[in-house]
Structure 1
Amino acid sequence: MENLFEMVKDFSPYIILGLTAITLILIIVLISMSRALGKLENRYRKLMRGTTTKNLEESVVEYLDKIDEAKAMVESCNGRMNEIDDRIKQCVQKISVIRYKAFEDVGSDLSFSIALLNDNNNGVVVTGIFGRNESTTYAKPIDKGISRYDLSEEEQQVLNDAMSK
C-alpha cells in the first residue's frame, strides 16, 4: 500500500494536470449544454405561448381541435360562397339602354329600349314608345338571349349590346 502512495506521490503533477484537463472539458461541455438548453427553452416557450397549461400533449390536442374548427368554418364559407355565386348569376348583370326617335313628328329621342339580363342571358327587354298624343310601354321576356316575340331593330340592338357585356 505504501508503494501505491509513493507512486501517486511521484505522478501527482501528471494526475493534477489530467484532472484539470478533464475539469476544463467538463466546464466546456456544461456551457454548451446550458446554451442548448436555453435555445430549447425558447423554442418551448414559443410552442406554448398563449396557453395556461404546462402539458404539451394538451396544447397539441387543443391546437388540432382549433384546426378542425377552422377547416369546418372554411368548408361552410365555401358552401355559402358557392350558394351566393349561384344566386348572383340569377341577378341582373347586363344592362343596355338605347334612346331613339320613334316618330318623325316628335321633337327628340323620347322613345327607349332597355335590356335587363342575368348571367344566362335571361331577362326582359322593356320598350317605351312616345308619340305626340300617346305613349306605350312593352315588356318582352328573353330566354337564353332569344325572345319568343318579334323584336324591333332597336330592341334587337339593345339585346345584342347587353349580351355582349
Structure 2
Amino acid sequence: MEDIFTLLNQFNVYITIGLCILVFVLIILNISSLHSTKKLKKNYKKLMRGTSSENLEELINGYLNKVEQISEDAKEVKDIYGGIQAQVKTCIKNVAMVRYKAFDNVGSDLSFSLVMLDDNYDGIIITSIYGRGESVVYAKPINKGLSRYDLSDEEKNILKEVCEKEKDNDK
C-alpha cells in the first residue's frame, strides 16, 4: 500500500494536470450540451406553437386532419377547374373582322364580315353588305372550320385567317 502512495506522490503533478484537463474537457462538453438543449427546446416550442397541450400525438393528428381537408379541397377545386375548362372551350374567343367595299359605287369600306369561333372552330360568320339603296345582314354557321353554305372570298379569307392564327397559337 505504501508503494501506491509513493507512486502517487511521484506523479502527483501529472495526475493533477490530467485531472484539470479532464475537468476542462467536461466543462466544454457541458456547455456544448447546454447549447444543443437550447436549440432543441427552441425547435420544440416552434413545433408546439398554437397549442395549449403538451401532447405531440394530438398535434400531429390535428395536422394530418388539416392535410386531409386540404387534399379534399384541392380535389374539389380541380373538379371545378375541369368544368370551367370544358366551358371555356365552347366560348367564343377566336374573333376577326374584315371591312371591304362590296360595290364600286359605295364611297367607303362599309361592308364587313365578322367571324366568331370557339376552340372547336364552331361558331358563326356575320356579314353585312352595304349598298347605296339597301343594306343586308346575314349569318352563316361554321362547324369545325367549315360552312355548309357558300362563302364569299372575304368570308373565306377571314375564316382561314382565324383558323390558321389559332393553330399557330396551339404550337
TM-score (norm 1): 0.83
Describe the superposition over 1:106-151 as per-residue Cα deviations: whole angstroms up to 9, x where unpaired.
1111111000000110000000011111111110000000001010
- SS across alignment from 1:115: strand
- Contiguous gaps of at least 5 residues in structure 1: none
Corresponding residue of 1:91: 91
CA distance in 1 between counterparts of 2:87 and 2:135 reads 35
Alpha carbons of 1:24 and 1:102: their partners in 2 closer, same or farther (altered >3 Å)? Answer: closer
Letter in 1 for 2:91: C
Count how many residue pairs are aligned between Structure 1 and Structure 2. 160
Structure 2: how far apart are the matches of 1:117 and 1:139? 13
1:108: which partner in 2? Answer: 108
* Alignment correspondent of 1:45: 45
Specify the SS of the correspondent of 2:50: coil
**Aligned twin of 1:161:** 161
Q: What is the TM-score with the length of structure 2 in the denominator?
A: 0.80
Distance in 1, matches of 2:21 and 2:89, equals: 82
Instruction: Determine the structure 1 residue equivalent to 2:65.
Output: 65
**Bigger shift: residues 36-45 or 46-55:** 46-55
Q: What is the alpha-carbon distance in structure 2 between the residues aligned to residue 90 and residue 19 of structure 1?
A: 87
Secondary structure at the counterpart of residue 160 of structure 2: helix
- 1:133 aligned counterpart, secondary structure: coil
Percent identity, aligned pairs only? 42
Residue range with higher mean Cα deviation, 134-143 or 77-86: 77-86
Distance, in Å, in 2 between the alignment partners of 1:91 and 1:85 is 10
* Whole-angstrom distance in 2 between the partners of 1:146 and 1:36: 75
Aligned-pair RMSD on alpha carbons? 2.5
Partner of 2:56: 56
- Tell me what 1:137 maps to: 137
Alpha carbons of structure 1 residues 22 and 125: separation in structure 2 relative to 1, 3 Å: same
* SS of equivalent to 2:129: strand
